[in-house]
């Protein structure tokens, strides 16, 4: 209790004297920036996740060939989530003398749970957002069905034993995505009309979909409970698994925001370490006096440790409040660009943000404080008696533990945390080694008298004060390296996102093109100057064996639920390697290759197959064997045709196939689709305009989040620079007073101090470039899975910019040294 009271008195005294302002500001930045980024990141991720869910119409879906089992339904009914059941089945509809096989879909009120449908009053006319579903007795048709049935809005069609009136055309259906290659024309009607149709009989092919939506924690609890209860015909699908292209963008943004949070916290930690070091050094004399008056070493440490803990606790609440205001301000400024509705964040980001101050203080600020326990009463008589430095392993150990804990939270990925930790440790070792080489070089240069006097004095000071020089070089190097890494990743991410949807990205997929229609299909698009992608054949087949073992027996129990083992796959052949794919391992086949197979990496990761494995497929009553000779990574974000399995043409030649292509149709040519549908009635058109617009919106939001992260890092870097300069201010004041007393002018003193900072900035920039290239190579290749290229320009720009920026900051910071009266400084010693 006595130590706590004394800690409070010390805190009030140091606050009034202005001793704590830098430490408090550093901690406040660590807490507020961490809180703001965590809240903004969580809210944006929830919003983007909601947009991904809108593509499926729900957060989660259970697809089955019969009504959901009683056990699974019982678990679902007690959950605090929304649920809807819809039916899909193939049937024949009649319109006068015309008949057509369609994919009928019966939906209840409230459909969809996420997102919305879009409808139009005429086929291929301007559409709008649907405010509900077809009323009982009504039907909505896909545009191409109008020409196939020869009907118009207001006509009727017969579905089974009932008649439905056509009132709208469907332009966007949320949960239709997924399997592009087995889509029949869509007819949607009200679930209440299903009994009147009398088309669902025992043995009918019906797909039951249970759409589920709710809060993340409730969905996770339900998923955990229901998964063991699902039978082989029931398959649970999450929204993020339904659209891999959208999911990848969200995951990549989360990784970037987590990395940016780490960089901001690292800079705040360096600021705390520098200000804590100054805090400790300015208390050497006070501790020595306390020891002379009978205070024990333990009591002295308890008082000062208590003071720092009180500082952290007092900063936590204002820091969290400031962080919340910061993210609210960003959302207000970006109101017109971000999603219209952003979910509220949980308490966890604010809790972690508040704890960040304590963690940062312990990890970065406690080690300098440990030197105080080595202060002896003899220092009262001998001012040059300095306490022994803390062992390096203790300093780095505490800092590393703090950063690992914070990084794990912000990224949410253990492997990414471990990888960045190992890379960061290597970079710190590189920086330390580089600093020693640089100081050795500086010491050698001091023997040369060709340098001006001010430069020689500045270099001599850097060489003599190796401990402080190392700390400052380390701090400045980390500043430049953190900002350079984020800047490079930001540039690469923006280029990738912008290249993801360039002008002319295909917005229509043409499916089920028959071999007899290929020439006419090509000719039609060429005559109307419509750009298209290459044509790919589609062969339907089922994976039956892996290395001669039945597929479901060759994999683990968890892998058996993967789609590739429970449905027919869309297989294709190609002699040329797809442009949008990346070859990961193996080699692409020669033109005459036979019985070879190229597998996409997501299948490799889910099923555990590898190069050399032999897979067996059942295709149209034939057994086809092929050996995996190459592994590919498809770019699912490109909106180009991509495939899990690709064969040489000679392997699948002669098997029945339909063809697939994609093309770009500008808005002014949309009415051309009516002519296309009449000319190719069996071709299925898939409209991706709405999905592309959604992805473009997500890209814009992601870009803004990245830009906001850079601004936060800039503020953090400025504060660390101020901390580094302020931490050495006492020594500079004393040194400046001595130089002025010996006849030095203010101009000479200013050139000496500023020159020293220019050298520090230049050397820090040079060291930071090497660390940046190493970290950026690892992050690009193993975390973000993007190609890496060395940033040659950085080797020139960063050292020069470092010298200029640190020199300018030094000039602003040391003006007090030049203006201070030598007599006043020496009298205060």
Q: Is the predicted pLDDT of residue 243 greater than 60, yes or no?
A: no
CA proximity to 254, closest of 143, 140, 412: 412
3-state secondary structure of 477: helix
What is the residue-averaged pLDDT of the chain? 75
Structure tokens at 428: 């710190």
Largest CA distance in the chain: 112
CA proximity to 200, closest of 307, 325, 296, 65: 65
Contact 513, 661 (CB under 8 A): yes
d(CA 326, CA 37): 9
pLDDT in tens, 140-149: 998 878 888 8
> What count of other Cβ atoms lies within 10 Å of the Cβ of residue 549?
11
Segment among 51-60, 193-202, 792-801, 802-811 with least mean pLDDT: 51-60
Domains in the chain: boundaries = 1-55+248-412, 56-246, 416-482+493-500+689-829, 533-663
Strands (E), 65-115: 82-95, 98-107
Q: Is the predicted pLDDT of residue 643 greater than 80, yes or no?
A: yes
3-state secondary structure of 95: strand
pLDDT for residue 25: 76
Contact 804, 719 (CB under 8 A): no
d(CA 112, CA 639): 24
Segment among 690-694, 775-779, 821-825 with least mean pLDDT: 821-825
Place of tokens 């996420």: 114
d(CA 342, CA 322): 20
Question: 771 or 103: whose pLDDT is higher?
Answer: 103
pLDDT for residue 450: 57
> What count of other Cβ atoms lies within 10 Å of the Cβ of residue 158?
15
Segment among 176-180, 456-460, 821-825 with least mean pLDDT: 176-180
Q: Counting beta carbons within 10 angstroms of the beta carbon of residue 444, is it exposed (0 to 12), middle (13 to 18) or buried (19 or more)?
A: exposed
pLDDT for residue 158: 92
Question: Most confidently modeled of 86-100, 497-511, 697-711?
Answer: 86-100
Structure tokens at 781: 């290749």
Using 50, 70 and 90 to split pLDDT, how confident is the model at 153? very high
**Mean pLDDT confidence for 63-88:** 87
Strands (E), 514-591: 536-546, 549-550, 569-573, 581-586
User: Parallel, antiparallel, or unpaired: how do β-strands 684-687 and 658-663 relate?
Assistant: unpaired
Question: 749 or 131: whose pLDDT is higher?
Answer: 131
Contact 778, 419 (CB under 8 A): yes
Segment among 145-159, 353-367, 611-625, 754-768 with least mean pLDDT: 353-367
Q: Which residue(s) pair with 647 in the sheet?
A: 573
**Mean pLDDT confidence for 221-236:** 83
The number of C-alpha atoms within 13 Å of 349 and in the hemisphere containing its C-beta is: 25
Q: Is the predicted pLDDT of residue 1 greater than 70, yes or no?
A: no
Using 50, 70 and 90 to split pLDDT, how confident is the model at 668? confident
d(CA 216, CA 199): 38
d(CA 601, CA 584): 8
pLDDT for residue 589: 83
Question: 777 or 733: whose pLDDT is higher?
Answer: 777
Question: 613 or 143: whose pLDDT is higher?
Answer: 613
**Mean pLDDT confidence for 313-332:** 79
Using 50, 70 and 90 to split pLDDT, how confident is the model at 181? very low
Place of tokens 């004297």: 17
pLDDT for residue 182: 41
**Mean pLDDT confidence for 105-134:** 86
Backbone angles phi, psi at 632, to 5 degrees: -120, 155
Segment among 570-574, 627-631, 653-657 with least mean pLDDT: 653-657
d(CA 64, CA 207): 6
- Helix, strand, coil fractions of the chain, as percent rounded to 5: 60, 15, 25
Using 50, 70 and 90 to split pLDDT, how confident is the model at 162? very high
Contact 674, 147 (CB under 8 A): yes
**Mean pLDDT confidence for 506-527:** 85
d(CA 825, CA 741): 11
Using 50, 70 and 90 to split pLDDT, how confident is the model at 179? very low
* Dihedral class, residue 100 (left if φ above 0, else alpha if ψ from -120 to 50, else beta): beta
Structure tokens at 776: 């950026």
Contact 562, 606 (CB under 8 A): yes
pLDDT for residue 515: 86
% residues pLDDT > 90 (the chain): 7
Structure tokens at 349: 């980001």
Contacts of 825 (CB under 8 A, 6+ apart): 733, 734, 736, 737
Contact 273, 364 (CB under 8 A): yes
**Mean pLDDT confidence for 709-728:** 65
Using 50, 70 and 90 to split pLDDT, how confident is the model at 108? very high
Backbone angles phi, psi at 20, to 5 degrees: -105, 0
Q: Is the predicted pLDDT of residue 193 greater than 90, yes or no?
A: yes
Structure tokens at 677: 């549908």
pLDDT for residue 178: 41
Contacts of 814 (CB under 8 A, 6+ apart): 725, 729, 732, 750, 753, 754, 757
Eight-state DSSP code of residue 18: T
Structure tokens at 551: 């597929």
Cα dihedral across residues 349, 354, 360, 366: positive or negative: negative
pLDDT for residue 175: 67
**Mean pLDDT confidence for 332-358:** 66
Q: Is the predicted pLDDT of residue 405 greater than 60, yes or no?
A: yes
d(CA 507, CA 690): 9
% residues pLDDT > 70 (the chain): 65
pLDDT in tens, 737-756: 666 666 666 666 667 777 77
Place of tokens 């947009």: 51
Contact 686, 207 (CB under 8 A): no
pLDDT in tens, 252-311: 666 666 666 666 666 667 777 777 777 777 777 777 777 777 777 777 777 777 777 788
pLDDT for residue 731: 64
CA proximity to 617, closest of 647, 654, 586: 647
């Amino acid at each position: 209790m006595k130590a706590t009271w004394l800690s409070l008195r010390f805190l009030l005294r140091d606050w009034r004297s202005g001793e704590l302002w830098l430490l408090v500001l550093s901690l406040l930045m660590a807490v507020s920036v961490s809180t703001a980024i965590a809240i903004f990141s969580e809210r944006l991720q929830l919003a983007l996740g909601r947009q991904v869910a809108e593509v499926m119409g729900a957060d989660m879906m259970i697809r089955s060939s019969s009504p959901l089992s009683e056990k699974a339904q019982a678990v679902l009914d007690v959950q605090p989530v929304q649920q809807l059941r819809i039916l899909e089945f193939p049937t024949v509809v009649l319109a006068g003398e015309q008949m057509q096989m369609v994919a009928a879909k019966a939906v209840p009120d409230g459909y969809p749970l996420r997102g919305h449908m879009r409808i139009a009053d005429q086929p291929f006319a301007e559409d709008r957002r649907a405010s509900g579903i077809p009323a009982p007795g009504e039907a909505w048709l896909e545009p191409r069905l109008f020409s196939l049935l020869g009907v118009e809005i207001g006509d009727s069609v017969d579905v089974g034993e009932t008649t439905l009136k056509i009132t709208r055309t469907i332009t966007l259906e949320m949960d239709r995505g997924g399997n592009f290659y087995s889509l029949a024309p869509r007819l949607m009607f009200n679930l209440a009309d299903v009994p009147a149709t009398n088309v669902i009989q025992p043995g009918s092919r019906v797909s039951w979909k249970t759409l589920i939506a709710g809060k993340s924690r409730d969905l996770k609890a339900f998923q955990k409970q229901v998964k063991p209860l699902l039978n082989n015909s029931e398959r649970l699908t999450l929204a993020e698994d339904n659209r891999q292209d959208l999911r990848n963008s969200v995951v990549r943004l989360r990784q970037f925001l987590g990395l940016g949070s780490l960089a901001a916290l690292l800079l705040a930690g360096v600021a705390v370490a520098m200000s804590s070091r100054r805090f400790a050094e300015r208390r050497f004399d006070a501790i020595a006096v306390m020891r002379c008056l009978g205070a024990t070493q333990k009591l002295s440490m308890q008082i000062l440790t208590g003071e720092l803990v009180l500082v952290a606790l007092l900063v936590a609440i204002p820091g969290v409040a400031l962080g919340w205001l910061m993210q609210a301000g960003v959302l207000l400024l970006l109101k017109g660009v971000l999603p219209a509705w952003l979910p509220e964040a949980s308490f966890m980001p604010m809790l972690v943000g508040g704890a960040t101050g304590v963690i940062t203080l312990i990890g970065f600020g406690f080690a300098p404080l440990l030197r105080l326990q080595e202060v002896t009463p003899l220092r009262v008589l001998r001012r040059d008696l300095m306490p022994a430095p803390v062992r390096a392993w203790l300093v780095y150990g505490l800092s590393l533990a703090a950063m690992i804990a914070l990084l794990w939270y912000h990224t949410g990925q253990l492997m990414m945390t471990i990888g960045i930790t190992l890379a960061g440790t290597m970079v710190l070792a590189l920086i330390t080694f580089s600093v020693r080489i640089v100081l050795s070089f500086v010491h050698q240069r001091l023997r040369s008298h060709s340098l001006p006097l001010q430069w020689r004095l500045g270099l001599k000071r850097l060489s003599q004060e190796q401990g402080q020089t190392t700390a400052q070089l380390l701090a400045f190097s980390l500043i430049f390296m953190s900002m350079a890494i984020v800047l490079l990743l930001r540039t690469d991410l923006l280029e990738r996102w912008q290249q993801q949807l360039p002008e002319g990205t295909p917005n229509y997929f043409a499916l089920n093109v028959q071999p007899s229609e290929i020439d006419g299909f090509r000719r039609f698009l060429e005559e109307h100057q419509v750009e298209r992608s290459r044509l790919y054949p589609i062969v339907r087949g089922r994976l039956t064996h892996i290395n001669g073992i039945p597929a479901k027996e060759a994999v683990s129990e968890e892998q058996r639920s993967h789609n590739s083992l429970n449905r027919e796959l869309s297989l294709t052949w190609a002699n040329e390697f797809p442009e949008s794919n990346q070859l990961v391992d193996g080699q692409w086949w020669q033109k005459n290759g036979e019985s070879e197979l190229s597998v996409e990496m997501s299948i490799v990761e889910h099923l555990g197959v590898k190069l050399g494995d032999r897979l067996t497929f059942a295709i149209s009553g034939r057994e086809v064997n092929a050996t995996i000779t190459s592994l590919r990574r498809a770019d699912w974000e490109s909106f180009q045709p991509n495939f899990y399995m690709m064969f040489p043409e000679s392997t699948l030649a002669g098997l029945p196939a339909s063809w697939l292509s994609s093309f770009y149709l500008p808005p002014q040519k949309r009415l051309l689709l009516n002519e296309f549908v009449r000319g190719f009635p069996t071709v299925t058109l898939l409209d991706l305009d709405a999905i592309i617009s959604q992805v473009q919106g997500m890209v814009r939001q992601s870009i803004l989040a990245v830009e906001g992260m850079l601004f936060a890092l800039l503020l953090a870097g400025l504060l660390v620079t101020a901390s580094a300069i302020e931490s050495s201010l006492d020594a500079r004041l004393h040194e400046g007073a001595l130089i002025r007393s010996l006849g030095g002018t203010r101009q000479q003193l200013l050139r000496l101090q500023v020159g020293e900072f220019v050298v520090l900035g230049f050397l820090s920039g040079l060291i930071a470039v090497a660390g940046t290239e190493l970290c950026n190579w690892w992050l690009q290749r193993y975390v973000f899975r993007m190609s890496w290229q060395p940033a040659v320009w950085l080797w020139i720009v960063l050292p020069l910019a470092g010298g200029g920026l640190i020199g300018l900051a030094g000039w602003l910071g040391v003006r007090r040294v030049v203006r201070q009266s030598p007599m006043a400084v020496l009298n205060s010693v």
